[in-house]
Structure 1
């Protein structure tokens, strides 16, 4: 194993400097009190007196900042609902599901999700975190950080989304929130919560909770053909209902101690959800007759997920500068109980006769924890600020999977109980030590920031007792320059290197049979991370007192791209098919051997594939956003919002050139808000659309298209304490259309010899939401 000498030396030096200087930390004068006006009254959130627009961030690294008030008129339920309104964020999920945020259209694993500036674990094998887990009601603001800086983790090839939760230092007062959502099938779900903040025990305390009924009834229709333009095969009619509740709470406490400030934060999110899918297959394009029945399938998935995070931080004067110590814990637990049962009918008979009933039960338990420590120190040298520090992260991810399969061939008899389970376990332990050094300076015209970050990672993986280790390290330079052309205009230029660590599924030392058509997949624990050099060039102009408009060009050059490649070893299916062929030949030719004419030759068409660092990729695009009141047109109470992102990329796989998988070609939002001050009311609308996305992997190619999403709201304010909003979403009955090109193996994929071609449409109806807020 390689020895990370630079990491070790820097780590010891930085830690030692902080510890030695800590002795004088408590001998300084008390920290000054917060200036007047630093605390925002919560009733301004309940009853908004004016339209809110995108903020101009002070960060030198290009950052877009959106307060909760920017989104709240449309009553978003989750952070995912908020992010669908900001530039360059796309989702390739089910209709009305905004979970895996794809900044600049790249897979969620390329986007760093932070909560209060800290990483959090999630369910995804690609290290992604589903942003629909966090209720919008707990959020103070969302930051889109387009370029890297040395004092932040480098896992941000596409950029970072920083979710800032409400802070005790920022708010005062209390309010309650209650309402309901009505869905197009008549189902009604409640939503309620409360937030309170004020002075407690010499400091400031904020607490909030939220209960959100979640429901999404969808309809799916699939038609399958032998190939595009080929003969009809079968049809599937499906309903998919996701029903559950999300419970969440957050707490923040701050108080001055000595020369600094102590801060405690906590977040708890519990998801209790059931997904029920019922599908029926027919051998006719339109008929629902029993005479055309092929199968009846029901799948019920019970999901219990818990996120729990704690943070303890202390920032204080030390050695002529300002130091920071942060301890963090983030835990994620996912328990899934998945049962699928199918009754199939023999299409060789007319009408199809009963064939068999099969059932499978899969129990999955994932436990993911992260312990973190941050040590940092800042100090001023004339016009230059020096910051150095050390980030430490210890991650442990344990997964247990149990599978039981049963069947019976007697019509009407129940399935046997699920008793015999095959159990597989895996463990991933990952330790990171990341020292960094950063310099920044500011003048009236030019502001700059430059730094180095060194990230070293040690990984131990184990699957069913088979363990391996790996380690790697990357040096991540970054620099940003901001040129203040005038008081209203500024130019941003950023250059930096980022990293993406391998998917958990790719590094486990196990082999999955028929993972890609007839081909198997074997994990590769020795994978190195992908790295990317990137550049951002942006221009931003302030329009009047509140408006802002900006345009940004970006480019990423990704190296050591992780792709699925052929090992050359035959798959289990190829070996099994050959053995059956030999057995049949020997039955027909007793006493034959390999020298007998006609003896089968082993010519595999499917193989064992693995993940490897191969090739390069490029990502580029243009991002535009504007939000402003129409004061110049004599309409100061009318606010308009628009953003448009054109996204593209290029990568080579074994089948040729393509875009990065599931990257939407474009995404745009446009909307307006009309305030009616004399009536104490307002109304508005928002329209969203994203372009097609394409995916090409071994044995399958998918093209995904989405319809447009239209939302409207009407708000009435009653005095200074009560507001009521009626919101309608998905008013255009948005649908999702997918075309699946399926093959048995890579040879067939090259030759376009189809196993199946499927067209699927998924749709959902409008959702109405009535919410009331009362402050006190």
Structure 2
């Protein structure tokens, strides 16, 4: 289990990955870049060009808890339009002892092992915790596609594809706390490595007839991924100047290396069918990303007459190097040698793609002040954060005079929160905060990408500024008995300076009817919704050992693009979770069931529109305790063998998309099978 598996039951959390993939968190259904992922309260760099962090890289065994922060506060970064998720790793106080765990996951086609160990206790004059986890991962998907010339039109071809993603995740974290002088020193580190191979093989048939005489293409596409995430941190807190002063320094990084080859052999380009090949295409691409963030913070907190005052300064230095190289071979058969094994020497020298070789330096200075207070039943918080950014990007694939671009901006982010305790069991909360979303790295590159959006070209814009949002959250919460809670929350976001694709008016590389397009701060949008959450034991019905949970989120938004009004891209219209856990105290056992479903999503860019539909997901577990130390847990996920279905509308130009003159209409369905897991845990 990973952090992604933990988060999929959280209200308003959606995912848009493949079946069995829970990586980029879409809080309130918005793109992953609108959600801020923190680890122990600090930002971590992600491999994605949109700055997002894949939460499925962190195993659940390293996690103490996950904090959901719906509205921003002044003493945290404001890069959180949809909200923040703070992944709190186990620290020196989490355990006094340890445990070992071993088990396996059974997929449709293979068994993958897992093992882990965690220990915590007194050591080296303080408190020490260390944990390690290794887990085999697999996602054996099958896909089937049908392609037409237009909706309701003639079937052009079908594609049968296997997509097997397999690999191992290795994770380690440690935390050490010790008293030093009048204060306390906290040293922490974590490291996560993902080794993964994605093996896609497909056969394409003319007119949907799956026989050798109708074979169109044979495609072999392999992607080898090795990603390292790491973080080192030190904090020292001590009494000072009538309060507490804390100094923090940290370094975090990600190294992402990917190597991909694609072989495609084409048939029926002439009158001779399989086994006579007509054309061969061989591509090799290598991506390397090295991202470092060095951060320091000095903050002070002290009591006031009505509450507490916090203020401080945070500085962050980001250095990111990106390299995307490729080589392409195209030749007709038999006028060239037969295909050779996919190694770089057989492809020729690798060359950088446009925009694929660049460095980015970003300095951020963020002073903040926050005041908390309480008067009777009313608790309040107000604060101000100023985020100044100085950014420089140098692209080595464009003309020398245009390869470097510098920009800077400063944004004031006020916030205010109010909590009114109606009585001992219920309260009302209200928040207002200004937040931002920074541009994607690839949008900032000044390179020109030909035929990137349909037949249109895309020109980067290093002068882009962040999107800014004002947000309001209003909620009601009531405790039920000793362990239950029910709540409802409504939210609204007004987002300005949206980064949308604009037409420069220049003719594109493909000639008349195509254009050079460019991202610009030219749009506005709104996001709103209601979240209902219930979790309680059924004590009122005499069922103290039965717990139920239910949450439902209704999500909506509106944005205008060149084609009219739509939701924010790929926002599901609802997210729904329901389940129960039953304790069997006399047997030392428990079991439970969870059902999850998210609504349809629609996305539209120039050249392509896609509708995504997921089936519901059913999970179940049973757990048996043996004595005081042993626990055996059996669980199953994707028990309904859910499918992901996508409908693609594809066009070549803006005009053809407006007039619904299709280049292609595609239906794709994907399944991955059920997964069963057995884990034996020994506690000492």
* Superposed pair shares fold, TM > 0.5: yes
Structure 2, unmatched stretches of 5+, are none
Between the aligned partners of 2:659 and 2:569, the Cα distance in structure 1 is 21
The corresponding residue for 1:85 is 9
The corresponding residue for 1:72 is none
Specify which of 136, 157, 165 is matched with residue 234 of structure 1: 157
Task: Tell me the CA shift for residue 355 of structure 1.
Answer: 1.2
The corresponding residue for 1:751 is 659
Q: Confirm or deny that 1:361 pairs with 2:284.
A: yes
The corresponding residue for 1:512 is 449
Task: Tell me the CA shift for residue 726 of structure 1.
Answer: 0.5
Q: Confirm or deny that 1:169 pairs with 2:101.
A: no
Higher relative contact order (CA 8 A, sep 6+): 1
- What does 1:140-151 align with in structure 2 at a 5 Å threshold? 140-151=64-75
Specify which of 300, 314, 322 is matched with residue 236 of structure 2: 314
The corresponding residue for 2:358 is 426
Q: Is the Cα contact below 8 Å between 2:483 and 2:537 reproduced in 1?
A: yes
The corresponding residue for 2:636 is 728
Q: Confirm or deny that 1:138 pairs with 2:75.
A: no
SS at the partner of 2:390?
A: strand
Between the aligned partners of 2:163 and 2:244, the Cα distance in structure 1 is 54
- Higher normalized strand content (fraction of residues): 2
- What does 1:37-56 align with in structure 2 at a 5 Å threshold? none
Distance 1:171 1:442, change over 3 A: farther
The corresponding residue for 1:468 is 405
Between the aligned partners of 1:644 and 1:613, the Cα distance in structure 2 is 33
Task: Tell me the CA shift for residue 407 of structure 1.
Answer: 3.6
Between the aligned partners of 2:327 and 2:657, the Cα distance in structure 1 is 33
The corresponding residue for 1:12 is none
Task: Tell me the CA shift for residue 365 of structure 1.
Answer: 0.6
Task: Tell me the CA shift for residue 169 of structure 1.
Answer: 2.1
CA deviation vs aligned residue, 1:428-483 (integer Å, no higher than 9, x gap): 11110000011001244111000000000000001115110001110000000000
Task: Tell me the CA shift for residue 408 of structure 1.
Answer: 3.9
SS at the partner of 1:354?
A: coil
The corresponding residue for 1:662 is 570
Q: Confirm or deny that 1:484 pairs with 2:416.
A: no
The corresponding residue for 1:391 is 314
CA deviation vs aligned residue, 1:100-119 (integer Å, no higher than 9, x gap): 00000000000000000000
Root-mean-square deviation (CA, aligned residues, Å) is 1.1
SS at the partner of 1:199?
A: strand
Q: Is the Cα contact below 8 Å between 1:406 and 1:417 reproduced in 2?
A: no
Q: Confirm or deny that 1:632 pairs with 2:632.
A: no
The corresponding residue for 2:78 is 154
Between the aligned partners of 1:356 and 1:728, the Cα distance in structure 2 is 45
The corresponding residue for 1:760 is 668
Task: Tell me the CA shift for residue 720 of structure 1.
Answer: 1.2
Q: Confirm or deny that 1:740 pairs with 2:641.
A: no
TM, length-normalised to structure 2: 0.97
The corresponding residue for 1:645 is 553
The corresponding residue for 2:387 is 455
Task: Tell me the CA shift for residue 409 of structure 1.
Answer: 2.9
Choose 1 or 2 for highest CA Rg.
1
Q: Is the Cα contact below 8 Å between 1:737 and 1:759 reproduced in 2?
A: yes
CA deviation vs aligned residue, 1:605-643 (integer Å, no higher than 9, x gap): 111101000121000000011110000000000000111
Q: Is the Cα contact below 8 Å between 1:224 and 1:756 reproduced in 2?
A: yes
Task: Tell me the CA shift for residue 348 of structure 1.
Answer: 4.8
Q: Confirm or deny that 1:417 pairs with 2:417.
A: no
Between the aligned partners of 1:427 and 1:164, the Cα distance in structure 2 is 31
Task: Tell me the CA shift for residue 284 of structure 1.
Answer: 2.9
Q: Confirm or deny that 1:401 pairs with 2:401.
A: no
The corresponding residue for 1:66 is none
Between the aligned partners of 1:213 and 1:421, the Cα distance in structure 2 is 32
CA deviation vs aligned residue, 1:314-343 (integer Å, no higher than 9, x gap): 011001110111001101000001000000
Deviates more, 1:419-428 or 1:239-248: 419-428
CA deviation vs aligned residue, 1:24-81 (integer Å, no higher than 9, x gap): xxxxxxxxxxxxxxxxxxxxxxxxxxxxxxxxxxxxxxxxxxxxxxxxxxxxx11000
Task: Tell me the CA shift for residue 347 of structure 1.
Answer: 4.7
Between the aligned partners of 2:640 and 2:374, the Cα distance in structure 1 is 49
The corresponding residue for 1:527 is 464
Task: Tell me the CA shift for residue 405 of structure 1.
Answer: 1.4
Between the aligned partners of 1:625 and 1:613, the Cα distance in structure 2 is 36
- What does 1:15-414 align with in structure 2 at a 5 Å threshold? 77-185=1-109, 187-285=110-208, 287-349=209-271, 351=273, 353-410=276-333, 413-414=338-339
TM, length-normalised to structure 1: 0.85
The corresponding residue for 1:548 is 485
Structure 1, unmatched stretches of 5+, are 1-76, 575-603
